[in-house]
Amino acid sequence: MKFFSKLLYGSAFAMAIYHLSVKEFSIARGQSAVAAVAYRRAANLINESTGQYHSYSNKPAVIHSEFAIPEGSPKWVRELSELPGDQPSQKFWSQVEHHNTRINSRLANEIVLALPIELTSDQNIDLVRQFVSEKLTSRGLVADWSYHAVPENPHVHIMVQTRPLAEDGFGPVMKPVLDNEGNVSRDKNGKIQYSLFGICKLDLPGIREAWANVQNHHLAMHGHDVRVDHRSYEEQGIALVPTTHIGVGANAIVANGGQSDRIERNNEIQSINRQAVLDNPEIILDKITAQKSVFNDRDIAREVFKYTDNRADYQSVILRIGASDNLIALAAPVYDPVSDKEITPATYTTRAVFENEYSILENAEKLHGQDTFYVPEKRVQASINSFEKDKGFSLSDEQKAVIRYVTQAQGIATVVGYAGAGKSTVMNVVRQAYEANGARVYGAALAGVAVDGLRESSGINSRTIRSWEVNWERDKRNLQAGDVFVLDEAGMVSSQQMRTIVEHVEKAGAKLIVVGDHRQLQPIMSGAAFRGIAENVGYRELTGIIRQCNPEHVAASLHLARGETRQALERHEALGNIQISAKGVDARKQIVQEWGQSWNAGNDAIILTHRNDDVEALNQYARSLLKDAGGLQDEFSLTTSKGTKSFAIGDKIIFLEGDYETGLKNGSVGFITEYDQKTRSISVEVDNGKTVSIDTARYNSFTHGYAQTIHKSQGKTVDDAFIYATSMMDAQLSYVALTRHRDNVRLITSPDAFKDRDDFLNRLSNDRQKDVSFLHRHTQDYADALRGFMERRDLGTPSDWKAAVERTVNHWKGRLEQVTERLRSVRQRLFPSQEIQSTPEQRAQSVRSPVNPSPVTSPVPAQTLRVYPVMPDNVRQVVARLQHTFEHAERMDTDRSRKEVINTSQNAFVDGSHSREVRTFMAGLKDVMGPTTILAAGQKFNAEKLAPALSQFSAADQQKIEGDWPALHSLARASFAVNQLEVAKLIHSESKDNRIEAAYEKSVSLWRTPDKELVPAMPVFNEDIAKIVSRIAASHPETVKAANYMQKDLAQCYTDAGAIAKLFINDVRNGVNVHDTLAMMQKNPEQIGDMHGKRNFFGRPNEERAAAIAAIPAAVSAMRHFASRYENVTQDVTQKETLFRQQMQTGLPGLSQGATNFIEKFNDDGANKEQLLNSDEGKQARREIGEFMSAFTERFGRFETSPTESERFNRVAATIDPAIASELATQVQHVKSAEQSIDLHSSAYSLGQSQSLSQSRGNEIEV
């Protein structure tokens, strides 16, 4: 399979990236919080604490700022936040500096976040607001944030204080930790334990994860199939090194001519990653499939662009990925034969994903082939009777049918139970039946709330999927042969989790019952595994909605269950259940008012919406309504995981995390019944009527529960549901929200949330079901991949092999037949006067028996009659869709309608679930009445034109053909369209391959290394290494310097110091052991030479001789130093000379033509040097010039003006023609000058773009 990207290098592929870092501002570093916020807001502020003025109003790119305060802030903060403009920031941070006067005081923390470039500015503002609300102000932090819309790098700066707010200013930064009794907690040494207010390192993992989750939520809401991941590459299993955030400080240092360790380290990392991708391009596939099961060539191009820095590398990686054995084509691209435009892009997966998801399918089929789980009808009926007697109501016929299906002998059963259809009831009876049959029944679900529901409503011993996985990894709680495993809410299970479950069940010899609704909510990770299993092994549906009491609501829920969301919305609209609030009316307050009426009547009512910030606002409106009615009195404050909030007796709360001690599950709700002020514990009556006591110092993951997100409501049932709809909802969320109620449902939206009614219906009907690779199994490329998969793993029976080969052969046989028909059609158009025979058999028949124009009166002999095959019902259904599409295309005559014809035809003959039946039916006619013959006869039945073909059928079959003629003509037309499509794809593919290969070759040749070497190789050297080293070491600056020092010190001692130094230097150079000489000199210096001064008769030195003797230690030290330096220099020169001779075994190539052309352009006085530097050509040339000079310097050393300054270069030049040597020196000098000029202009450009640094910038904490 060959793969070529349509996207050329040079296009900008922007994609969301993850970055979060935290900085700290402190007095000890000489920093100012007021100056920092002025810089980030691009404002002019006065530090009211010091009177200092900070002006940054000229700073560009700041498009939005906000000053967000916590709920329940002190009065002075609330009043301050209502001031206009930048005054809240000025006054607040001035107060911060006034309060913090200690030299080590921390003034503020700053969070820097990279914003997704896919979102608009307004969407990013909403994104930041949600993050600030959920993770900062909810913790009691004031968040002063500014949005910097820097091109290709939008980001936000958020400053928060480091001390808690208090009525008179700020509280202490450290507070004692209290135990369960409210006493001060101490460690084992008796020391009081303290907690730090604000943001510390322990908070960072949670904040990082929250920022990723909020981004992914908003990206999905706005229709972007992009995800960010806060985990490291290592945790994701991706062989890349993460870079660190550079920041404006480091950029400015470099722009001002300095060096930044962080930038240099990032450059190293980027080089490492680029090389890693060049060495192993399949890293790109690992990155993509971390979030996507199925992807296209644009996804590949986007990632490759990020890890290559030139056209050649980009195209090389693209082509190598396309040739990778690990890339599997699921479906080829579809082109419009008329316009040659791509209608549908090619889709791919990787071998790892393929194997993972095919393993699910493979094991599911194995389970389906088992036949040991049959429950006798007598036991099934007894279980039904027992349940009905116990519960006091009868099961529906549909429920009984599903129970009997699930208790059949197969090892797998799939139940698609639409929300409210009674899945729990059915599974309760199934459990009883299997337990009566002697089997153990276990259950699993993704969320704790769903596990509770499965346990309580169906009586099944259940655990979360993660709990089962952990136990199985530890070889605990393993299933046994004959066990039954129920997987509930399977539509939420990822492909990887589904594979683990299916493999374990199959290996254990147990039965798997998969229950869920594949239209409810998306899987959390890649791949819709449940949908793939359901459509492969078959399933039974529970469609009789029993949650709703109103028949009209039941009908609407059935529409939703079938994916007919628009019809459901229109039905609810007709019933008056949907309303767009009037202009100027807050839709959230309106819906709370209506909810309040239901609540006051004692109904179990819930408010649902999609966004967390709307949930927060709706909860506050609901509490205000209840307080106005006299409820929720005597409030008290509790610090929760969402921040400090007000609660009261009677408040409804929802739990946000599971708690092992109390048994609470994520998503459970309850009502506060008591509050102990001393211990700060609350008593809560939960769903099942049980009252639990919660110590809020230990567990505080709860918030108000009047309004909830739609996601949290999955699996719940209430009397009345009130929905606040936003533009971010889709069909899946609409389905869940509109099927939670028993009695009443009400959906209200703001008039500015949607453009008009159609926009409202379209957005809430938008279906974004995930794809899964094995749903493409009917395509030819998938069959090829399947066969390779079986070969490599030595899997499959002969029948498996046969099926795979048959699919391959039949596909290509069909394509060849279609091409043959196409060529015959072409010949008919070129030679209309000649009679066209469809097959050799027809030609032979026409020779044997001349055809009578009346096919009915002159049939062929009975023994030669053919039988017209019966058209199956499935084929007729396909025909009906084709005819509708053809009629629509003829009426509209647009590109879009032609696209529908091609897609429908392709689906009919190739990709559709009934395409095999269609091909089989048409194959039965091809020998006598192929598509070309049918099309030539016309849309209306024409017996005269069809006489040669009709003569081979009986009169009865001829009448059937006439009756089926519209259907036959539609099938022939579709076959011809598919044939055109195949030819167009072939022509397009060849043309595209040729164009890309030619462009690739042209671009590569321009930058190809010249065949002729600039510096010739020197495999043989005339002088040996020792001689060269001795000469170089003697004149080496370090040895010359050491010799001068030595001679100077010897001159203080001896009159013939020069001769002594010369002798010593010769000894050192000749390898003589000079240690003895130095020892003798220290012991008896007068034996070495004539010393200054003299001795008297008694041998005593005079003053001059005494001074000379006193200088001996210094002279000896200098001589020893010279010997040491000479030895070191010799070793260094020897290593370099050895390396140099190894390097010179090969020549040094010169610059490519592309780099040479760039230098000429750059040296042109009229050239736009800045534009050249930033172009792709400039980046490639600069890299090549740098690499050449680096290689030259590594061989010959650095030089200032000319390479002839290098001793090694002169040695090489001496071996070649003097004219060539001179030209070589000139060329190298020319490249050196170009490099210096480029660096100079690049630095000047960077300096012009730099921004002045101020004391506001703090040292960054690595995250």
- Give per-residue pLDDT as tens, 955-978: 888 888 888 999 998 898 888 888
DSSP character string of 233-252: HHHHT---PPP---HHHHHH
Write down the number of H helices and E strands in the chain: 45, 36
- Token pair listed for 483: 């066990």
pLDDT at 561 > cutoff 70: no
pLDDT at 1159 > cutoff 90: no
Q: Could you read off the pLDDT of 402-450 as tens digits, one per residue?
A: 898 899 999 999 887 766 667 888 999 999 999 999 999 999 987 666 7
Q: Could you read off the pLDDT of 638-657 as tens digits, one per residue?
A: 888 777 889 999 999 998 87
DSSP character string of 869-889: PP--HHHHHHHHHHHHHHHHH
Q: Could you read off the pLDDT of 672-684 as tens digits, one per residue?
A: 999 998 888 999 9
Mean pLDDT over 1130-1157 rounds to 85
Mean pLDDT over 1137-1157 rounds to 84
pLDDT at 629 > cutoff 70: yes
pLDDT at 215 > cutoff 80: yes
CA distance 973 to 977: 6
Q: Could you read off the pLDDT of 1203-1230 as tens digits, one per residue?
A: 888 888 888 888 888 887 788 888 888 8
pLDDT at 25 > cutoff 80: yes
Q: What is the pLDDT of residue 715?
A: 62
User: What is the residue-averaged pLDDT of the chain?
Assistant: 79
Helices 955-1006 and 798-830 sit at what angle, rounded to 10 degrees?
A: 90
Those residues whose C-beta lies under 8 Å from the C-beta of residue 1061, and which sit 6 or more positions away, are 1043, 1046, 1047, 1050
CA distance 971 to 872: 13
Q: Pick the residue with more confidence: 1113 or 532?
A: 1113
Q: Could you read off the pLDDT of 987-1017 as tens digits, one per residue?
A: 555 555 555 555 555 555 677 777 678 888 8
Q: Pick the residue with more confidence: 798 or 251?
A: 251
Q: How confident is the model at residue 502 (pLDDT cuts 50, 70, 90)?
A: very high
- Token pair listed for 454: 């499965």
Q: What is the pLDDT of residue 157?
A: 95
CA distance 735 to 566: 11
- Residue pointed to by tokens 């790892």: 352
Q: Could you read off the pLDDT of 451-482 as tens digits, one per residue?
A: 888 898 899 999 988 889 989 998 999 999 99
Q: What is the pLDDT of residue 323?
A: 76
Those residues whose C-beta lies under 8 Å from the C-beta of residue 838, and which sit 6 or more positions away, are 824, 926, 927, 928, 929, 930, 932, 933, 949
pLDDT at 283 > cutoff 90: no
pLDDT at 873 > cutoff 60: yes
Structural domains in the chain?
20-221 (3.30.930.30), 353-551 (3.40.50.300), 578-774 (3.40.50), 831-994 (no CATH), 1025-1143 (no CATH), 1148-1247 (no CATH)
- Sequence-distant contacts of 89-92: CB under 8 A, at least 24 apart: 89/37, 89/38, 89/41, 89/43, 89/45, 89/65, 89/144, 90/34, 90/45, 90/46, 90/48, 91/48, 92/67, 92/142, 92/144, 92/161
For the chain, give the number of residues: 1263
Percent of the chain with pLDDT over 90: 25
Cβ neighbours around 1185 below 10 Å, total: 21
pLDDT at 1094 > cutoff 80: yes
Mean pLDDT over 910-933 rounds to 81
